[in-house]
Chain A
């Protein structure tokens, strides 16, 4: 049980961006999250090997070995099979703050890890600068 649940929420990278201050503007906080499912075929092979002592376990293991040949270089988290899932980030930011006056971005690359699968997450917290007259909601 201990090893099944270990490291459920793992932080890979944190980046704090500059915080701007503008007179007569307020900072309206927002949060964005995009994610993709990661799959670890190596882990899957190990589990299927330990569960079945027949050929099925070995063939899953062989598939995992072949796939690992195509996965090289530094990486964070488990492999995802949609490499463009983070591309919509800039568009999503502008949706949150149509004026484009964005500041104080904190980018967190994190992972929710479970056996075999994981949630590969990119989370962004930031502030949209809005004129005091156009203030809606909570001021930060």
Chain B
């Protein structure tokens, strides 16, 4: 029972790691906040393509079609839901739409 408890504590524990952050210049005149994020689920560390990242810009532009997106904060997080078994990579971008 004790071993099952210890094992389940290990398997069910999840944590988030911040892999990288970047910020572009924040404009003096701040417009509407626009947010976009892309996620990639990884099972047993198998991941063969990172092309999902390309969608993030299109998602930002879609929310601000006739304006410029400035002051973009980009976060790249690695989330472990079940160690070894299931991970998620989350990339989020947040900026201001100036029209």
Contacts and interface: CB of A to CB of B under 8 A. Distances in A.
B61 interface: yes
B58 A12 contact: no
A81 interface: no
Contact of A19 (B47, B48, B64, B74): B64
B66 A21 contact: yes
Please report whether the interface of chain A is mostly helix, strand, loop or mixed according to DSSP.
Answer: strand
Interface in A1-53: 2, 5-21, 27, 31
Contacts of A20: 68
Interface residues of B, number: 33
B46 A16 contact: no
Interface in B59-85: 60-61, 64, 66-72, 74, 76
Given A14-B74, A19-B64, A19-B68, A9 B48 contact: yes
> Contact size class for A?
20 to 34
A10 B48 CA distance: 8
Contact of B68 (A11, A21, A123): A21
B76 A104 contact: no
Contacts of A123: 50
A94 to B, nearest CB: 20
B24 interface: yes
A13 B20 CA distance: 6
Contact of A11 (B45, B67, B89): B89
23 contacts: A5-B46, A6-B44, A8-B46, A9-B49, A9-B50, A10-B47, A14-B53, A14-B56, A14-B76, A16-B22, A16-B57, A16-B72, A16-B74, A18-B72, A19-B57, A19-B68, A21-B67, A27-B61, A106-B53, A123-B50, A125-B57, A140-B58, A140-B61
6 shortest interchain CB distances as A-B pairs: A6-B45, A19-B69, A15-B22, A13-B20, A16-B93, A16-B74
